[in-house]
Amino acid sequence: MSATVLLLTHHACLSHENSEDHPECPARLRAVLSALEAEEFATLLRDVAPAATEAQLMLAHPRDYVEAILAIRPGPGRFVPVDGDTGMNHATAEAALRAAGAGVAAVDAVCSGSVARAFCAVRPPGHHAEPATAMGFCFFANAVIAARHAQAAHGLSRIAILDFDVHHGNGTQAAVAQDRSIFFASSHQSPCYPGTGDTSETGVGNIHNAPLPPGADGAAFRAAWAENLLPALEAFAPELIVVSAGFDAHARDPLAQLRVREADFGWLTEEICRIADRLCGGRVVSLLEGGYDLHALAASTAAHLRALMA
């Protein structure tokens, strides 16, 4: 029996631009959306991502930070750098609102029971955005906002955030490290940007990091999850699983040196869904994070969606 899966996106996410020749570019999202036009994905439910409200953004960020980011609205053709590799054009604020809002709408959909799972095909990504700092191509902590919205609006008490992006989700970890109600597990390359994610970083017992050395392959990736992170997830017994789905651990990706393949992402997604079916009514919300080789990104996203839909 196949699961009903909602796909959320918004055209504003195609208009956000970083600096010229930046790897986090609109072509990434176009590649993902093109792959999901294949016949095998015809049963996806599709909807437009709403804009998050400022109150929803403040589930993960202080008011002054939210207001400062949203106030940056350059005119057409202009670009405002926020840090060394993160910047904003005329569409960025709207795209960031839609990216965060997609996670909120996805949570509403799975918690209402109208769909089993949801995937948010959005950019800019979110897992490097710390509570008061934009960095690493990210402005708002989309996964954290989704998790806290599930608690605030739907009364859930235990949310898990799982992150398999090749870069450690320092922003997610910073936001939840003192919050026992949110579990965070991450596999990532180390050493690598942003330099966080050591196994010694455990928060209040809710943080589980599995750093992988450059060159680690799919077998090492699977072992990290099967032997370490997934057992910890099961022990936590979440009521909802939020996934930071970055596909830059792929062997073709130019920004890091892991050797994961699309089949490995598919395997992990299947394992996540099995645990979700057993522990939390199948509820999984996935949000696109990294992935910078267009072919690998499209193929890996397709593998991820096949598993979500199974």
CA distances (Å), 121 to each of 7, 118, 164, 238, 298, in order?
Answer: 7, 10, 16, 24, 11
Within 8 A by CB and 6+ apart from 236, the residues are 158, 160, 183, 206
Which of 128, 168, 188, 208 is flagged as catalytic? 128
Q: Contact, 160 vs 207, CB < 8 A?
A: no
**Burial of 265 per CB tally in 10 Å (0-12, 13-18, 19+):** buried
Name the nearest CA neighbour of 246 among 23, 94, 12, 74.
Answer: 23
Count of all residues that appear for the chain in the document = 310
Mark out the alpha helices in 194-259 (DSSP H runs): 218-224, 230-236
Distance, CA of 171 to CA of 83 (rounded, Å): 15
Crossing angle of helices 92-112 and 142-154, in 10° steps, is 40
Query: Which residues, 6+ apart, have CB-to-CB distance to 6 below 8 Å?
Result: 44, 45, 46, 47, 106, 109, 110, 114, 115, 117, 118, 119
The answer to whether 243 and 217 are in contact (CB under 8 A) is: no
Q: Dihedral of the CA atoms 159, 162, 163, 169 (nearest 10)? A: 30
128 a catalytic residue: yes
- Distance of CA 142 to CAs 20, 228, 302, Å? 25, 25, 21
49 DSSP assignment:
P
Tell me which residues are annotated as active site. 128
